[in-house]
Structure 1
Amino acid sequence: MGFSVRRIQQMCKNGELPGAIKEGRKWLIPDETIHMNHFAKNKSLPIGVSDFKLATTGYYYVDKTLMIRDFLDKKPMVSLFTRPRRFGKTLNMDMLRVFFEKTNEDTSVYFKDKQIWQCGDYYTKHQGQYPVIFLTFKDVKSMTWEETFQKIRRLISLEFIRHNELETSSVLTAYEKEQYHLLAGDSGDEVDCQMGLQLLSLLLHKHYGRECIIIIDEYDTPIQQGHTCNFYPEIVNFMRNFFSGGLKDNPHLAFGFLTGILRVAKESIFSGMNNLKTYSILDDGYSSYFGFTEKEVKDMLRYYGKDDKYNELSEWYDGYRFGNTEIFNPWSVINYISDNCFPKAFWQSTGSNEIIGEIIQAATPEITKDLYKLLCGEKIAAYIDTGVIYPEVQNNPYSIYSFLLVAGYLKVANIYPQSDGNFMCDVAIPNKEITFVYEKEVLNRTNQNSLAISISQAIFSKDTQKLQALLEDFMVKSISSIDGANEGFYHGMMLGLCAILGNRYKIRSNRESGLGRFDIQLMPLTKGMPGFIFEFKHTKDEHTDLSALADSALQQIEAKKYDTELRDNGVNSIISIGIAFRGKSAVVRRG
């Protein structure tokens, strides 16, 4: 029926399964009840559910418990998993907590119908055997360091309170209990809180006679907030000492798990931690456990009777690659099915995109051009450093691609490992959903949205006079006198302004066709619509006739037969447009 044993027992007790009767300690369920469609397929989708017990007993759960097997096969002292937001990090960390944590409840019932329980005694003997410290920083998003510290102190306090067995422990000294009450009472100062992990692990180790497991979820959320809100040094200093006490050379630590978007190694947050093993989106380890695999998505669609929606769902939410595994965005897949399979950009509303604005503002003309190439469906080559940190977005413009990749805005098409441990990669936008995020963020951040619509209308209506006027008006208002230093700048600008046509045209840039390489081509997605070829010219010479230069661009289109690809694809109506630029002036000619 697709339910856990615990859920079936609850349904029997509640009378949800007609004809079920109790015989001794067992329930007997009629065959006809088992095969009733509305009972076999009435699980809710776990939208926003990150509690493992709840997810596995009351909702459709995609079994990721073999992650436990993979960990126990290697058992690194501290594991860091870096993945984009909303890819199941918190749920997986809570799964680890429920599996390993020693409690009064028999938590094995949550795993006996899962894949991990079929792996044998070597794995199941670890179930329920460890004291566990669990903290999630996913909601620590305050505007000042003072408020951030208060939230972190409160989270530490609540975790101490969760372990209230320490209050009555017979093996702790009076001083140790006093230290416990200090942090449980939300009274510690910064130094006390920095020692929080070390203190709590010591107390739990002493009480239970066994080393602790420490789980820190979304550790870098307050670090990103610190970068955005100008308290970066304070939060980095706090986290460095906090993690050092709990995870570095801690005799009370059995294992540690951390999740985040970035591996903030360059700030020495994990300084000297030679016991840390990082699993980024480029690594094969654990590649199938964050996000949904193709099989998991097909099984889910089959369960809800939506098999015919697989291609559409793939087009919108597939495309990620973690290690060698093809991955779907789990948040968007669940919301898509829940929303009666109506596709839209669910993921863009789940977090802050301020960093995109910062990227656009810091981008050089060359990078802006490449960002628009991505928007038009092209791949670009980029050096990827998985240890990128937030300030580098400002200081090193080329770190943009590293950040966008690890944050989920790009996918890896090809990987070329480098000797320094980083990678050269061909990157691209993964799917339609992220294309919409780009359109919204890139165009809005550069204040080009309404103008882009007007320009696209002028292009589509073949109105060269209007197009020329709009371009000159845009340049007067938006670019500096030094921006237009070369043709590449204007090429990138036009690529961005054409991007809004992406739902009607396949936009290609600098591609071979005929006897050369055109600047921009608009290949219609609908039969019967016209195609467009753009060629750009640029001059700094005040005496050069821009009209003659624009005419030469048209002549180049014809002489080089740039329309060859369009004609080979059955496009009969082809509009050639030549544009000559100088500073903030432009002349547009149509062939």
Structure 2
Amino acid sequence: MNDRRLPVGIQSFEKIRKEGYLYVDKTDIIWQLANRNKTYNYLSRPRRFGKSILVDTLQAYFEGKKELFEGLKIMQMETEWVKHPVIRLDMSQAGAEQESLKGYLDYTFQEYESLYEIESRDNSPLATRLIEIIKTAYNKTGQQVAILIDEYDSPLQHSWKTPQHEACTAIYREVFAVLKSQDKYEKFVFITGITKFTQISLFSVLNNLSNISFEPEYAAICGITKEEVLRDFKPEINKLAEYEDWTFDEAVA
């Protein structure tokens, strides 16, 4: 019982799998999402709801890291394990001011430019650089690109009702509008946020985005359901019940 390790606060799928932490298997739902033939997808969930570990799992899947998925439901579904190039942005790192947002994108794009041996042009617009990264990743690998954008609305939330907000929004409109025009190079685009879909005006630049936030088949894609608690955490529930002198059902409640 005591050797079960719970992955509290761990956002790395690889660490959870390699170091033997308990993992509630979501990989069947993840496979369905990745293979449903809709390129552009948006998922809204509250903070601390497992969005980042979901994004990390998608990255491992698109990078073809089959060994991390041994024994999970996805193994009955995926047969090819094609390695796709992945471009990942974590916008919670970007700050809420125009300069820090630009700085984060510039730094991250530089990393991808060096990975794909693109001559970095510091004075080029960010949007142009993103197009170049997507096209080069596609041309060098022969595979379409997966683009994962986590905590998409973080800088917009934090700059809300400040003089910086319009400038941040303008950067978003410029940079993320290119995703739509590069669709022939893109396998899958996945964006997470905490904001209601309709509140972000700049979805007008990505009007082909499919909002899966309220679709029943993706309800359990992150977070833990009551059924999963009962199925996967019996030993911990029993231990809590014993410690508090409760019945099993009281501990569940």
Cα drift, residue 312 of structure 1: 5.6
CA–CA distance in structure 2, aligned partners of residues 276 and 71 of structure 1: 14
Matches within 5 A, 1:126-137: 127-137=81-91
CA deviations over 1:488-519 (Å, ceiling 9, x no partner) = xxxxxxxxxxxxxxxxxxxxxxxxxxxxxxxx
Mapped partners of 2:34, 2:168: distance in 1: 32
Offset at residue 267 of structure 1 (A): 4.8
Q: Does 1:113 align with 2:52?
A: no
Q: Is the 8 A contact 2:176 2:205 kept in 1?
A: no
Instruction: Identify, as 1 or 2, the structure richer in strand.
Output: 1
> 2:14 maps to what in 1?
53
Counterpart-to-counterpart distance in 1, 2:145 and 2:212: 22
Distance 1:264 1:298, change over 3 A: closer
Alignment correspondent of 1:287 = 219
The answer to whether residue 231 in structure 2 is matched with residue 231 in structure 1 is no
Given the superposition, is the C-alpha separation of residues 148 and 73 from structure 1 closer, same or farther in structure 2, using an over 3 Å criterion? closer
Counterpart pick for 1:240 among 157, 169, 173: 173
1:124 aligns with 2:73: no
Q: Distance in 1 between matches of 2:7 and 2:153?
A: 25
Structure 1 residue 214: deviation in Å?
0.7
Opposite residue 101 of structure 2, the aligned amino acid is T
Write the deviation string for residues 389-408 of structure 1: whole angstroms up to 9, x where unpaired.
Answer: xxxxxxxxxxxxxxxxxxxx
Identity of matched residues, %:
26
Residue 79 in structure 1 maps to residue 12 in structure 2: no
The SS at the match of 1:158 is helix
Structure 2 contact 147–190 (Cα < 8 Å) conserved: yes
**Partner deviation per Cα, 1:35-91 (whole Å, 9 max, x = no partner):** xx5xxx413221221111001222211111112332245220111111111111110
Q: SS at 1:230's partner residue?
A: coil
Give 1:178-217 correspondences, 5 Å limit: 178=119, 181-182=120-121, 188-189=122-123, 192-217=125-150
Aligned residue for 2:203, secondary structure, equals coil
1:264-343 equivalences under 5 Å are 265=198, 267-280=200-213, 282-304=214-236, 305-306=238-239, 308=241, 315=253
**AA paired with 1:75?**
N
CA distance in 1, matches of 2:67, 2:233: 27
Whole-angstrom CA distance in 2 between matches of 1:240 and 1:312: 50
- Please, what is the CA RMSD of the aligned residues? 2.4
**TM-score, length of structure 1 as denominator length:** 0.39
Instruction: Trace 1:161-172 onto structure 2 (pairs within 5 A).
Output: 161=114, 164=115, 166-167=116-117
Cα deviation for residue 200 of structure 1 reads: 0.9
Partner of 2:185: 252
1:209 CA drift (Å)? 1.4
Give the structure-2-normalised TM-score: 0.86
Aligned 8 A contact 2:173 2:205 in 1:
no
SS at match of 2:146: strand
In 1, Cα distance between equivalents of 2:178 and 2:251: 45
Pairwise mapping of residues 152-551 of structure 1 onto structure 2 (< 5 A)? Answer: 152-161=105-114, 164=115, 166-167=116-117, 177-178=118-119, 181-182=120-121, 188-189=122-123, 192-227=125-160, 229-263=162-196, 265=198, 267-280=200-213, 282-304=214-236, 305-306=238-239, 308=241, 315=253
Structure 1 residue matching 2:10: 3-state secondary structure: coil
1:138 paired with 2:92, answer yes
How far has the Cα of 1:294 moved from its partner? 1.1
Q: 1: distance between equivalents of 2:85 and 2:170?
A: 28
Deviation at 1:313, TM superposition (A): 6.0
* DSSP 3-state at the match of 2:92: coil
Counterpart check, 1:148 vs 2:113: no
Q: Over residues 225-277 of structure 1, what are the superposed CA-to-partner deviations in whole Å (9 max), with x where a residue is unaligned?
A: 12154311111111112111124453211211111111455554232534311
Note closer, same or farther for the CA distance 1:214–1:301 as it changes in structure 2 (3 Å cut).
Answer: same
Q: Which has the higher contact order (CA 8 A, sep 6+)?
A: 2
Q: Distance in 1 between matches of 2:101 and 2:52?
A: 20
- Counterpart-to-counterpart distance in 1, 2:229 and 2:128: 43
Larger Rg computed on CA atoms: 1
Note the 1:18-97 alignment, pairs <5 A: 41-58=2-19, 59-97=21-59
Unaligned runs of 5+ in 1: 1-36, 168-176, 183-187, 316-591
What are structure 2's unaligned runs of at least 5 residues? none
Distance 2:28 2:162 in 1: 39
1:240–1:268 contact (8 Å) kept in structure 2: no
